[in-house]
Amino acid sequence: MKNILISLFTFLFLGSLSAQNANKIIEKVDANMSSKNRIVESSMIIHGKRNSRTITSLSYSVGDKKSFTEYLSPARERGTKMLKLEDKLWIYSPSTDRIIQISGHMLRQSLMGSDLSYEDMMDDRKLTEVYTAKVVGEENIDGRKCYILELKAKVVDVAYYSQKIWIDQEYFVPLKEDLFAKSGKLLKQTTFSNVKKVQGRWYPTKMVYKDMLKQGNGTEFIVNSMKFNQEIQEYIFTKAALKQ
């Protein structure tokens, strides 16, 4: 009986310690990955079944509520703009001069044929706000020591119910992510690399997304330049800015 009680308390104590550690780890990840605002110029290389395309864009975002993206190239996409305010998304097409609001199941559609969905692009919340975490092990990825964390959603409005995430033990940035549906099915896999120090925080500047339900060779997302905590004019986050 004594032994059983000792085992039980040890188990509960270690479990609670693991949760505390995990929370600290994802807080540190959030500190690196989230910011008051940021301006990012990026290239998205979409490897399709028949060909590959590179799309460059310039994004402005404030917290996880507002973001504005303008596509710069190729010519087919130039001038297309996207505005996200809270949970709403508008897209402007210069060829039709129309602003279309995207909602419902369309948010789960692929963004420009990539392995990212509109929903992926919109959800920029901190991990600590959305998931509860548990450390489940340690592993080396490309020679870097990582914590392996299991995250479970604590809110309802989340695209992926659970995640398995590998966190670099030195830089506290994710190096790999497996994203799962509630059923346990693996939906997406992301790898992060080229971790650089930008304005005092570590940030992976190359991400490779793979939609596991889609054919193709994945989508590379490369951060060409990134600035945190800049002065961003408020008018950018209005529908009027879409047509300008």
Partner 1 sequence: MIKFLLKGILRDRSRSLLPIIVVSIGVFLTIVMSAWMKGIFTDMIDMNANFTTGHVKIMTRAYAENSNQMPLDLALLGIDELKQNLEKDYPDMEWVSRINFGGLLDVPDKNGETRAQGPAACKAIDFFHNPKEIERMNISKSLVKGSIPKKPGEAIISDEFAEKFGVKLGEDVTLFGSTMNGSMLFKTFTVCGTIRFGMTMLDRGAILMDISDAQLALDMENGSTEILGYFNDGNYDKLKVEEVTNTFNSKYSKENDEFSPQMHKLEEQSGLGDYLAMADGMIGMMITFFVIAMSIVLWNTGLLGGLRRYTEYGIRLALGEEKKHIYKTMIYEAILIGIIGSVLGTILGLGMAYYLQEVGLDFSEMTKNISMMMPPIYRATIFPDLFYIGFIPGLIAMVSGNALAGLTIYKRKTSQLFKELEV
Q: Does 51 bind partner 1 (CB under 8 A)?
A: yes
> Residue 241: beta bridge partners?
none
Residue pair 64/85 in contact by the 8 Å Cβ criterion:
no
Residue pair 134/19 in contact by the 8 Å Cβ criterion:
yes
Q: Of the two residues 2 and 49, which places its CB atom closer to partner 1 in the complex? A: 49
CB of 98 to partner 1, least distance (A): 5
**Helices and strands (DSSP H and E) totals, the chain:** 4, 13
In this structure, what are the phi and psi dihedrals at residue 127, rounded to the nearest 5 degrees? -60, -40
Q: Does 97 bind partner 1 (CB under 8 A)?
A: yes
Q: Does 179 bind partner 1 (CB under 8 A)?
A: no
* Interacting residues of 82 by C-beta distance below 8 A, sequence separation 6+: 67, 68, 69, 89, 90, 91, 92, 121
Judged by CB under 8 A, the chain residues 53 through 82 that form the site for partner 1 are 53, 76-77, 80
Q: Does 101 bind partner 1 (CB under 8 A)?
A: yes
Residue pair 59/40 in contact by the 8 Å Cβ criterion:
yes
> Residue 209: beta bridge partners?
190, 219
Interface with partner 1 (CB under 8 A), residue total: 30
Using the contact rule CB under 8 A, the part of the chain among 10-18, 87-95, 202-210, 229-237 near partner 1 is 87-95
Using the contact rule CB under 8 A, the part of the chain among 29-37, 45-53, 137-145, 156-164 near partner 1 is 45-53
Using the contact rule CB under 8 A, the part of the chain among 20-28, 47-55, 150-158, 183-191 near partner 1 is 47-55
Q: Does 85 bind partner 1 (CB under 8 A)?
A: no
Residue pair 204/218 in contact by the 8 Å Cβ criterion:
no
Buried b (16+ CB within 10 A) or exposed e, 8-43: eeeeeeeeeebeeebbebbeebbebbbbebbbbebb
Judged by CB under 8 A, the chain residues 214 through 233 that form the site for partner 1 are 215-216
Binding residue (CB under 8 A) for partner 1 from 19, 99, 198, 241: 99
CB of 214 to partner 1, least distance (A): 9
Residues of the shown chain interacting with partner 1 in the complex, contacts defined by CB under 8 A: 46, 48-51, 53, 76-77, 80, 91, 93, 95-103, 105-106, 109-110, 112-114, 215-216, 239
